[in-house]
A and B are shown apart, each in its own frame.
Chain A
């Protein structure tokens, strides 16, 4: 069974540039999470979906970040105008429902110069 797949693995941007991250969850997993993990910190939830619906995006900086999961499978997280403070690893995770084990992708390591 394929795990959670993320791309790209790395991204280096100048401030003000845009970037998109892509996530393919485990087949059949209805719940998908995006986390931001700054260096030497624990992951912090940005947004999560059940199927195509956003369940909670209260921690997503809405002026520059957006996330979609149009068919309830793959998901895209986009940063419109990156800032140095966005430097972090962006992790995607999926689960079969909530209150279930989480499975993580390898993450995308973003550096904003």
Chain B
């Protein structure tokens, strides 16, 4: 079944609005990572965040293990933030890294 579920599947915002992306998982985890991918582009690591909250510029990642969820918050969105955001987790005792299907974010000027 689906071990990693991302929501929403797509999100359209006006420039300047904040974006909240969710990743829910059905198992415990060893690690949680967030990636950004432009159309036709490679995956760029945004956060390695197995628990707690991390900040990077306008981005904030929060992972709450007990609630089996991780979120990515983008404040004051810009058109250049458009693309697909993917979360990926590694389960204890299983080194495979499993990806969600992604959230496609479109920021309109």
Whether, in the assembled complex, B30 has its beta carbon less than 8 Å from a beta carbon of chain A, the answer is: yes
Q: Which residues of A contact B45 (CB under 8 A)?
A: 101-104
- How many Å from the CB of A77 to the closest CB on chain B? 16
Please measure, in the bound complex, the distance between the C-alpha atom of A44 and the C-alpha atom of B98, giving whole angstroms.
7
Interface string of A97-113 (1 = CB under 8 A from B): 01111111111010000
Residues of A within 8 A of B30 (CB): 99
A15: which B residues are within 8 A, CB to CB? none
In the complex with contacts A43-B86, A48-B95, A98-B95, A105-B101 CB distance below 8 A: no
Contact size class for B?
Answer: 20 to 34
Which of B33, B40, B97 is the one whose CB lies under 8 Å from A45? B97
Interfacial residues of chain B within 53-109, with CB under 8 A of chain A in the complex: 86, 88, 90, 95-102
1/0 per residue, CB under 8 A from B, across A24-54: the answer is 0000000001010000011111001000000
Known A43-B86, A98-B90, A101-B33; contact A91-B42, beta-carbon cutoff 8 A? yes
Interface size grouping (class) on chain A: 20 to 34
The residue in chain A whose Cβ has the minimal distance to the Cβ of B41 is A106
For residue A41, which residues in chain B have a CB less than 8 angstroms away from its CB? 101-102
Whole-angstrom CA separation of A100 from B41 in the bound complex: 22
Q: Nearest 3 CB-CB pairs, A to B?
A: A42-B99, A98-B95, A104-B43
* B residues in contact (CB < 8 Å) with A: 4, 30-31, 33, 35, 40-45, 48, 50, 86, 88, 90, 95-102
**Could you pull out 10 A-B pairs where Cβ atoms are within 8 angstroms?**
A43-B86, A43-B88, A48-B96, A55-B95, A98-B90, A99-B50, A101-B33, A102-B33, A102-B88, A106-B41
